[in-house]
Structure 1
């Protein structure tokens, strides 16, 4: 009887040891695993370089299109001047703070590998629109020099403002100035399209803007306000800057957040990021502390600002 018990205990001991070896001992990556990881890193770096090249190419295309627009504006001005149909130049000025998101890249050395972590932060930048007699040009200047793309959005903003007010600007220059306390790399200017449209309309109408309100959103030729990225970071920047109302494109009404969930797999603890879709207005008002209203068009924006 004792021998059977000893045999049973021996079997249980062997089974326990086998389980410990198979599931509890951390697996040390071998040379092949490291090479595979390095190959994957090299592949991702090549993909990143290709994407950066594509972005540069797209930026150059935008610059080319903007130059063509300026060329044809000059032609229109010359023709109108020759025929005496050029409208007299108008003057106006308006300014407002705009929320923006920029990327901060931090590098960390871990053995033979270099790890880059990218975080997004929100900030407020100052944007103004000045209209003065000129040749129908749309100009953008940034101080200090920033990695921003505003020209295409600026042209669309001026086009929509002319349609909305009925005031032609072929005899005037519109100058958008973007200033910030420090250099801000990689800010996408298209998300300021709706705000630049508002500034131009305000400058043309001579109305004052409510400085406690800010907004974000793209603009198209029909005056529709489109979606943007970095909603939460922009809301946080607006609240930190003392704004009380944040106008947000309705297409950004759904906000995706991530909840950390711990799961056990054979003795290992794995933390998964589970996405959750929430209403942006409710989440921002509760967690950031700034009022949010959705807008669809530039007319919706004007209801709050004018």
Structure 2
């Protein structure tokens, strides 16, 4: 049967090739305008290829810098502990624990059959993951444990979260180990970036203050920088749906995610070519999520805003 299908496809391919050669050749470009459009498209393609190569180089350099910074942080942290121990000035380690569920994006691949061919479609869905932090007497280390393994960028976000948290709590964590645990039912690639940074900062602040009790009906997503600012993330709709499905009543989003972008496709002819353009349309995030997902939305700019809503 497979042999017959392949033979049929081969014959069909030969027929189509003959048709295009003899009957469907494009008309010569008689208009200077069409030729100019083609040149513009080719120039744009060349420009995009150059930009893509430059971005690849930049990503490589950034990854190398992250590894270098992580090594330096570990070196200086150990050195501080050694010096404080030598001078008997090492602060007493703190103890505490806090946990909260965080929204993330699950990516899964669905396979489908189309005749003799197999197609793969990447589907993104929201999910809630359990994030907890434990602080205990130690050497100032920041440790991350993920189940199952989810990637390596968590460590950088965790270091920043601890830095901001000790500044907010006005205490030194030099004599304290901070251990983050992230648990999910399946691998979650989309959380492999800094998008859990703001939540990890909140957890650390709560763990350092045993009198702080987090509201488990609230969840959040957003990056954190060394100044305590909450930055934008992706997958806003999927994460909001996961929060709603998990029984949350409020989701905190970065202020920079206050608009969603929807694209419409417009076709236009350029000589013998048909060009498809994507035109963006901006939608109010809060209005869309509250009406279509059914969960309250609040935007935050800093970690102080997060604490105000989540405690």
Normalising by structure 2, we get a TM-score of 0.74
Q: CA 1:273–1:240 in 2, change beyond 3 Å: closer, same or farther? A: farther
Measure the CA separation in 1 of the matches of 2:20 and 2:72.
56
How far did residue 137 of structure 1 move? 0.4
Q: 2:98 maps to what in 1?
A: 94
Q: 1:257 maps to what in 2?
A: 262
SS in 2 for 1:242: coil
How far did residue 108 of structure 1 move? 5.4
Measure the CA separation in 2 of the matches of 1:132 and 1:276.
49
Measure the CA separation in 1 of the matches of 2:21 and 2:293.
46
Which ranges of structure 1 fall in alignment gaps of 5 or more residues? 1-27, 34-43, 264-269
How far did residue 59 of structure 1 move? 4.7
Structure 1 residue 150 corresponds to structure 2 residue 162 = no
Q: CA 1:208–1:228 in 2, change beyond 3 Å: closer, same or farther? A: same
Structure 1 residue 221 corresponds to structure 2 residue 226 = yes
Q: 2:284 maps to what in 1?
A: 279
SS in 1 for 2:182: strand
Measure the CA separation in 2 of the matches of 1:302 and 1:177.
21
Measure the CA separation in 2 of the matches of 1:107 and 1:295.
39
Q: CA 1:60–1:106 in 2, change beyond 3 Å: closer, same or farther? A: farther
Measured against aligned partners, the alpha-carbon deviations of 1:202-241 in whole angstroms (never above 9, x if no partner) come to: 0001121111100011111111101111111111111111
Q: 1:12 maps to what in 2?
A: none
SS in 2 for 1:176: strand
Measure the CA separation in 2 of the matches of 1:124 and 1:30.
55
Measure the CA separation in 2 of the matches of 1:182 and 1:304.
29
Q: 1:75 maps to what in 2?
A: 79
Normalising by structure 1, we get a TM-score of 0.75
- Picking from 145, 161, 166, the partner of 1:162 is 166
How far did residue 272 of structure 1 move? 7.9
Which ranges of structure 2 fall in alignment gaps of 5 or more residues? 1-18, 26-47, 269-274
Q: CA 1:103–1:52 in 2, change beyond 3 Å: closer, same or farther? A: farther
Structure 1 residue 185 corresponds to structure 2 residue 177 = no
Kindly report the root-mean-square deviation, in angstroms, between the aligned alpha carbons of the 2 structures: 3.6
How far did residue 149 of structure 1 move? 1.9
Measure the CA separation in 2 of the matches of 1:59 and 1:176.
22
The question of whether the paired residues in 2 share the 8 Å contact of 1:225 and 1:249 is answered with yes
Measure the CA separation in 2 of the matches of 1:272 and 1:67.
45
Q: CA 1:144–1:29 in 2, change beyond 3 Å: closer, same or farther? A: farther
Q: 2:236 maps to what in 1?
A: 231
The question of whether the paired residues in 2 share the 8 Å contact of 1:147 and 1:186 is answered with no
How far did residue 73 of structure 1 move? 0.5
Q: 1:106-145, aligned counterparts within 5 Å?
A: 106=110, 116-145=120-149
Q: 1:6 maps to what in 2?
A: none
- Count of paired positions: 265
How far did residue 109 of structure 1 move? 6.5
How far did residue 69 of structure 1 move? 1.1
Question: Highest CA radius of gyration, 1 or 2?
Answer: 1
Q: 2:8 maps to what in 1?
A: none
How far did residue 294 of structure 1 move? 0.5
How far did residue 103 of structure 1 move? 2.8
How far did residue 101 of structure 1 move? 1.6
Q: CA 1:133–1:273 in 2, change beyond 3 Å: closer, same or farther? A: same
Measure the CA separation in 2 of the matches of 1:152 and 1:126.
19
